[in-house]
Each structure stands twice: as C-alpha cells, then as structure tokens.
Chain A
Amino acid sequence: MGSTLDQFGSQTTFADAGIGAARTVWLTNSMSIISLVILAFVMLVALFAWRSTGGGRVWWIIGGGIVFPLITLSVLTVASATTLRSITGEAQPEAPVIEITAYQYWWDVVHHSEGRSLRDANEIVLPLNMAVTLQLKSNDVIHSFWVPSVSGKMDMIPGRINELTITATKEGRFRGQCAEFCGLSHPLMAFEVLVLPVEEYAAYLESLDEDARDAVTPQQRRGKEVFLTSGCTACHAVNGVSENGRLGPDLSRVGARASLGAGMWRMNRGNLAGWIADVGDMKPGAQMPSYNDLSGPDLRAVAAWLESLK
C-alpha cells in the first residue's frame, strides 16, 4: 500500500473513517440544515412584516432579541457538548492503550499490549472497529494530535496526559497532522494512520516485539556497522542491535513505514540517504545533525540497511 503522499482525500472529515469524524459530520450537517430553515422562516416573517402596519414592536424585541437566541444557543450548547463528549469517547477500561508522545517534529508511538511496551514511530496502526485509548503527551512544546478522517483533534500538552478514545471504522491509510504551531518545521510534522483488521493488528504488534531483520548483503552489514560506529545509537533504537536510544524515532521497522521524516517523504533509499546527509535542509529545526562526514559508500550502505528493516 502506497503512502498517503500520493492519495487525495486521506485527510478529510467528510470521508469519515471513524466514529468521531462521523459525529462531527453529523453535527455540521444538521447545524447547516437547521440554520437554513431558520433563515427561510425569518425571510418569510420579514415579508409579512413589510405588508402589515405598526404594532407589536416590543414583542419583536423580546421574541427576536431574547427568547429566540436563548433557545437556539441552549440547543446548540447541548448538541455540541454531547457531540464533543462522544468524539472524545467514553473511557473504556478494556480498550488497548496507545501512548503517543509528540517531539519537535515527530511522534513516538508505544503500543501497550499484555504488559509489553511496543515502540514504533510516525506511523500509528489501529485495529478496525475497536475502541482504542490514546494517551497523548508532549515532550517539549504544545502540539495537537489530529487525524481528520478518524476523529476530532486534541492538544498534547507538556506535563499532562490527555486521553482520547477513538474507533476507526474503515480499513486503509489516513493522514494526520500536528494541528498546533510548534516551531520551524510544524508544517512538516505529519504522520500516517494505518487501519488494519484485528488479526493483522495483532500480527503487527508481534512484529514490534521481534528483533529487527538481519543484515544480509555485504552492503547491509557495512551499513549496520556504520550505524553502530557513527553515533546513531545515541538517539535511535533498533531492536536486537542497540536498544538504548530514545531521543529519536525507533528504527526497528523503519523500512516498513510508508513515509520518512514524519509523513513527509516517500520511504526509499534515495530519501533515506538524502535525509542522513542533510537533515537540516529537509527538516529545518530538527534535532538530528546532518551526517555529511560519512563517505559516499558508507552513506549508501546505511541507507540500504535502514531500508531493509521491515
């Protein structure tokens, strides 16, 4: 399945693929229709008022200025409050928990399953038709988590855990975006959401628990060696190779993701090499330094090895 970079309509509430999005669409549509009816009614009243002569001015002010807004605003408040509540979702103790931490400018994703913490990054896999509790956190500044096709958005505030229960109702790939200005590369802070049937979701979780694929070709082995000796491990973890780096995205399955740099470039060797050699150009303000001191063949080797981690 290709990345959402080629796919139009992967980031719209109107192509609702989740309960939250469906309710948002419902509220928007009903508000539009009701206000249209009210407008038509007011126009009619105006038409008759034009023909009648004098009288009832006080009642117009009381009715149109106090009673009418009071009723409409109360109805709207109740409707939006209940819709908002249903978007946020009732807390479900049995629902799987996914912990998402925003960093400048990427997303750390930890699936909590059977007492294990399974780490991935920048791509959130959700089970189809199953409520999931997202624990939204931030590591530095305020970010906002938003997958328009699936649910409403929620801020990620440093020092707080905001819970959002979401249910995806359509299989496929959707696009999310940081929706709160968070710094220089805020527009380049996106992610992909992959909705899979429950069995495939379970298989995905298992794959997160396994060690990363072995380096097979001489080039891949060289790439792994360069990765270990160039300081990459200080920030990045690869299961079974080096598991201590926590400052940057987990790379155990980096080649399996559809995109690179938090949803911004297609995953392939060329983009990986360009990214390693000059991050500052591809994502201004990112914490990762540019590794342009690697020799050409070494750069290619690291890119080839990372691409093979699926």
Chain B
Amino acid sequence: MSDRDRNSGLLGTVFAILSGVIVSLAVGVWALGTPGNDPVGAAAVTAGTFMEGKFRWLRAEPENVPQDWVEISKTVRGGDPQRGATLIAQYGCGSCHVVPGVARAHGTVGPDLSGFRDRAYIGGVLSNEPGDLVDWLMNPTTHAPDTAMPDLGVTETDARHMASYLYTLRGS
C-alpha cells in the first residue's frame, strides 16, 4: 500500500469523524434550543411504531386477529353507556319502558327494553343497528307516524350515549 493511499484513508476517517461530530452538535443544539422538542426521539418513536406494526403483521395469524363482528356491529361511535343511563333517567324513558339498571324505570306503556341488544327490530319498523337506533331515539314519529312514543327533542350526542347504554342490555 502506498503512502498516498494511507494518507487518503486517514483523511477520510478524520473527515467522517469530524462531520459526524458537527452534524450531531448541530442536531443537539437544534433539539435543545427548542424546549419540548425532541426530533430524534420522535423519529425513533415513529420508526419504532412503524416497525412494531410490521412485525405484528408478520406474526399475525388468522385466528388471533380480534374480529368480533357482532361486537363491532353493536358499537355506537362516541357513545358513553354511563352517561346514557343518566340521560335515560332524565328524559323519562322509564315512565313507559322497563330499563334494567335505571332507577324507577318500570313503565308498562311501551315494550320492555331488557335484552335490547338481541332484539331484531326497533319499534317494529327499523332493524336493530346503531345508526337506526340513534335515529329512532331522535325522531321516532318519522319512522312510525302512528307510534305513541313522543319525539323528546333528543340531540344526536345524547341519542348516541343512550343507544350505547341500550346495547349493554343483553338477553338471557
């Protein structure tokens, strides 16, 4: 090996080390200069998440992918069952319906809502799925003009909460 080759190799190594130091200094100053900013860490997290997804996808087998379609078909987006129960008490549903889990809800004017999740129809006119249930709670008279159930002025948010509570009522 000639002197020239050795010198260029040495120069290359020094250049690589120097540029590395300069780049990491620059990144460090930039990162520290902005409070709460951690671009390197964030990039690492993003990369980690991405890779985790890939590994999961690689490892997944058909039987351990959770796909409970029945569960998903009875899930109301943005519905909180706890708030739903409170709202059911406030709108006075219990004066006509039996609603298990709601205090003093033992009405006998309309259908008993025990096991509502497993009913096929809502009010005898709509199929029992979340979108239709929310719509029914908001305006029952639109779907069943002769119904005795009044439009209670339920907002969509409230209807979603109440629907999600009704879907916690399972049949035997």
Taking beta carbons and an 8 Å cutoff, which residues of A are in contact with B?
Answer: 265-266, 268-271, 273-275, 277-278, 281-282, 292, 294-297, 299-300, 303-304
Name the one of B90, B92, B148, B151 contacting A277, with C-beta atoms under 8 angstroms. B148
Using a Cβ–Cβ cut-off of 8 Å, how many residues does chain B contribute to the interface with A?
21
> Is B150's CB under 8 angstroms from A281's CB?
no
Measured CB to CB, the closest approach of chain B to A151, in angstroms, equals: 28
Cα distance, A274 to B109, chains bound together (Å):
6
Measured CB to CB, the closest approach of chain B to A270, in angstroms, equals: 4
Question: Of the 9-residue stretches B32-40, B70-78, B139-147, B164-172, which lies at the interface with chain A?
Answer: B139-147
Cα distance, A229 to B96, chains bound together (Å):
24
> Is A266's CB under 8 angstroms from B92's CB?
yes
Q: Chain B at the A interface: mostly helix, strand, loop or mixed? A: loop
Residues of B within 8 A of A299 (CB): 148, 150
Enumerate B78-100 residues with CB–CB distance to A below 8 Å: 90-96
Against A, the Cβ 8 Å flags (1 = close, 0 = not) of B95-119 are 1100000000011110000000000
Cα distance, A278 to B107, chains bound together (Å):
8
Enumerate B119-172 residues with CB–CB distance to A below 8 Å: 141, 145-153
- If A273-B150, A300-B141 are given as contacts, then 16 extra A-B residue pairs at C-beta distance below 8 Å, sorted by A number, are A266-B92, A268-B91, A270-B93, A270-B96, A273-B95, A274-B92, A275-B95, A277-B96, A277-B148, A278-B96, A278-B109, A281-B107, A282-B95, A297-B141, A297-B146, A304-B150
> Is B150's CB under 8 angstroms from A277's CB?
no
> Is B95's CB under 8 angstroms from A296's CB?
no
Measured CB to CB, the closest approach of chain A to B65, in angstroms, equals: 43
Residues of A within 8 A of B93 (CB): 270
> Is A270's CB under 8 angstroms from B92's CB?
yes
User: What would be 30 A-B contacts, judged by CB atoms less than 8 Å apart?
Assistant: A268-B91, A269-B151, A269-B152, A269-B153, A270-B91, A270-B96, A270-B152, A273-B95, A273-B96, A273-B148, A273-B150, A274-B95, A274-B96, A274-B109, A277-B96, A278-B108, A281-B108, A281-B109, A282-B95, A282-B107, A294-B148, A295-B146, A296-B146, A296-B148, A296-B149, A297-B141, A299-B150, A300-B149, A300-B150, A304-B150
